[in-house]
Structure 1
Amino acid sequence: MAAAKLTTLGIAVLELLHEKPMHPYEMAQLMRERHVDTRVKLKAGSLYHTVERLLGNGFIEVVDTQRDGRRPERTVYGMTDAGRDAFVERARHLLGNVAEEYPEYLSGLAVIDDLGRETTLAELEIRATKLRSLVAADRVVLDRLADEGTPEIFWLDWRYTTDRRAFELEWTERLIDGLRSGRIPFKEDHELELVTGKENDERKTS
């Protein structure tokens, strides 16, 4: 796994190992607590697979094994110097590079006129309702983080996610208003306007 090929989940694992050595189960718990799943697709299978890849590439190493009662033995991993170098290189790329991203919403916006007014407005209202619920839930999390005194430097990723979601809600509500009021006309509105204008011109000349 070259540094440039470190996945976002690989970065998340190495990010945790900056704090201390830990086993994958603890990693998964911390990722859930810190809402890492808002920026990384987090599944138990993919996490263990990522740990194995990091180990195979020399970015992490086994530093201990732990057993809690009758539970299966857990392997504790720590980050190597090579892992730290790879992490820094990849993290710098992620932060400084403007990547091409292709949100599905953009493809939906591109076909609005093909869906027609009724269907488009119905689906956009559904989206806005879902976004309002998510934005409200975001505020609860942000308030909790602030109340707990967690330094903002540790949840900038979450702040970005919530701000982006709030912006999308505001933008979508403006779009709905523009489509409903006719400020943003559908093709059928243009055609009707042309027909009406032609009829009016014909009446004036007759």
Structure 2
Amino acid sequence: MANPLALAVLAWLMREPTHPYELGRRLQESGQDRNIKYNRGSLYMVVEQLRKAGFIAEQATVRDTQRPERTLYALTDEGRAEFYDWMRELVSEPQHEYPRFGVALSLLSVLSPEESAELLRQRSRALDGEIGQIRDLVRGATEQGVGWVFLIEEDYRLALLEAERRFVAGLVESLEQPDYVRTWQEFFAREERP
């Protein structure tokens, strides 16, 4: 399994058996949906994959008068072992991820220095907005008594965004250096010759 949604499902089932609809609600209420991309269909698909793998099992079917029948799933011993193995690996072993911004940076030289700098300034403003939102969210949660350990993913996001903002500012400065502009112009002047 390499799907973060599957890891989250296993984590929630460590607490108690539940049904997929409730799992989705908990992901949203806890804010984990900001870090784990999913929709209702993908959630049900992951639950089925975990069941087929033997990591979770149907425990009961419940029905209340207002809702359709729902199947409760529980974590198996194999699922618990898989969860801990997976968590240990994710926490201890750095992995190269493939962010879209990294792709754009690898191809940045195709844009003029002026356009690149302006687009990066736009990105910096967007980063400022995200940073402000996260700070507000963390402040509000802290004021409501939420413990720091339940906000660490937001602290991590904040650290990444602040580092990216610093990187972007430095990159804009580099793109505006006369030496880079001249090198870029000379390179593309050569490329246009027959």
Output the TM-score relative to the length of structure 2: 0.86
| Helix, strand or coil at the partner of 1:18 | helix
- Distance (whole Å) between structure 2 residues aligned to residue 51 and residue 189 of structure 1: 51
Residue identity matched to 1:135? I
Higher relative contact order (CA 8 A, sep 6+): 1
For 2:107, the equivalent position in structure 1 comes to 111
Q: Compared with structure 1, are the counterparts of its residues 155 and 133 closer, same or farther at alpha carbon in structure 2 (3 Å cutoff)?
A: same
2:141 is the alignment partner of 1:137: no
- Structure 2, unmatched stretches of 5+, are 187-194
- Distance (whole Å) between structure 1 residues aligned to residue 60 and residue 126 of structure 2: 45
Q: Is the 8 A contact 1:67 1:74 kept in 2?
A: yes
- Distance (whole Å) between structure 2 residues aligned to residue 71 and residue 85 of structure 1: 33
Q: Compared with structure 1, are the counterparts of its residues 36 and 187 closer, same or farther at alpha carbon in structure 2 (3 Å cutoff)?
A: farther
2:41 is the alignment partner of 1:73: no
Q: Compared with structure 1, are the counterparts of its residues 184 and 138 closer, same or farther at alpha carbon in structure 2 (3 Å cutoff)?
A: farther
For 1:185, the equivalent position in structure 2 comes to 180
- Distance (whole Å) between structure 2 residues aligned to residue 103 and residue 38 of structure 1: 16
Cα offset for 1:98? 1.5
Which has the larger Rg? Answer: 1
2:147 is the alignment partner of 1:147: no
Residue identity matched to 1:168? E
2:10 is the alignment partner of 1:24: no
For 1:83, the equivalent position in structure 2 comes to 79
| Helix, strand or coil at the partner of 2:38 | coil
For 2:98, the equivalent position in structure 1 comes to 102
Matched residues, percent identical?
30
Q: Is the 8 A contact 1:38 1:161 kept in 2?
A: no
| Helix, strand or coil at the partner of 2:15 | coil
Output the TM-score relative to the length of structure 1: 0.81
Q: Is the 8 A contact 2:138 2:151 kept in 1?
A: no
Cα offset for 1:105? 1.4
- Structure 1, unmatched stretches of 5+, are 192-206
Cα offset for 1:17? 1.0
Cα offset for 1:189? 6.6
For 1:34, the equivalent position in structure 2 comes to 30
Paired residue total: 187
Residue identity matched to 1:57? A
